[in-house]
């Protein structure tokens, strides 16, 4: 029996990179997986890979996590299909350069919307079901840029710093309901957003451990690869 047997996981940004690797790994560990992202063709590729490697069928939901109505519809679809939600991996991200002086307000808002508001919306929509079940494991993907910043990546750095604060707040608010919320910093991964780095599959065992924490396990913490 897999570590995530009988669990239902939602993974955002599941069409490529870490989201795709995590989707396959979670399914291999026994989870029923709902894959979310903006590009339907990429999500379908992920679902096909899950089927080929694990024999499991993923639920494909084309969703922009920055759009509240789409998020609410996605959550409703997951509950209708699987009956519950146990795990959320907030992985969807926009990584674009721009200094404070260079960024337009629209460019700023675009990155904040996906990298910070998206996890807020997805988590908020799932919390009632998690509270009812008295169980939830929420993993938010962060970055070293959240605490040391980086010249030329003002919006991304600020969004990740906000996400870390949101996660700690969530951990305090939801612990009594059996919901654990933690952050994971994978370091540099080789993805569409970054040409060099580790294979995303290398870090997925860490994500599975966070997704399967026992009752009373750590919450509001940051786990980093290595």
Q: Catalytic residue positions? A: 156
- φ/ψ (deg, to 5) at 198: -75, 155
Q: List, in order, residues 6 or more apart from 204 with CB less than 8 Å away.
A: 18, 21, 22, 24, 25, 26
Beta-strand runs (E) in the chain: 8-12, 32-37, 59-62, 87-90, 136-141, 179-185, 222-224
Bridging pattern class, strands 222-224 and 8-12: unpaired
Q: List, in order, residues 6 or more apart from 198 with CB less than 8 Å away.
A: 186, 187, 188, 189, 190, 225
Instruction: Report how far residue 205's alpha carbon sits from residue 115's, in angstroms, rounded to the nearest whole number.
Output: 23
- Smallest Cα–Cα separation from 90: which of 145, 14, 161, 24? 14
- Smallest Cα–Cα separation from 29: which of 210, 205, 226, 216? 205
Instruction: Order across the sheet with 136-141: list the strands.
Output: 59-62, 32-37, 8-12, 87-90, 136-141, 179-185, 222-224
């Amino acid at each position: 029996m897999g570590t995530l047997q009988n669990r239902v996981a939602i993974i955002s940004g599941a069409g490529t990179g870490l989201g795709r690797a995590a989707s396959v790994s979670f399914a291999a560990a026994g989870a029923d997986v709902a894959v979310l992202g903006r590009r339907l063709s990429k999500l379908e590729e992920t679902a096909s890979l899950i089927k080929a490697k694990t024999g499991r069928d993923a639920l494909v939901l084309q969703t922009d996590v920055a759009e509240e109505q789409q998020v609410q519809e996605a959550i409703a679809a997951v509950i209708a299909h699987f009956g519950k939600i146990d795990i959320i991996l907030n992985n969807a991200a926009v990584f674009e350069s721009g200094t404070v002086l260079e960024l337009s307000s629209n460019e700023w808002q675009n990155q904040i919307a996906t990298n910070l508001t998206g996890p807020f919306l997805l988590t908020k929509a799932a919390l009632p079901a998690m509270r009812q079940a008295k169980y939830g494991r929420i993993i938010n993907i962060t970055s070293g840029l959240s605490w040391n910043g980086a010249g030329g990546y003002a919006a991304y750095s600020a969004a990740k710093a906000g996400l870390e604060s949101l996660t700690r707040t969530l951990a305090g608010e939801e612990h009594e309901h059996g919901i654990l919320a933690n952050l994971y910093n994978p370091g540099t991964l080789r993805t569409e957003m970054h040409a060099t780095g580790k294979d995303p599959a290398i870090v997925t065992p860490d994500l599975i451990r966070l997704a399967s924490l026992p009752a009373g396990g750590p919450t509001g913490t940051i786990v980093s690869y290595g």
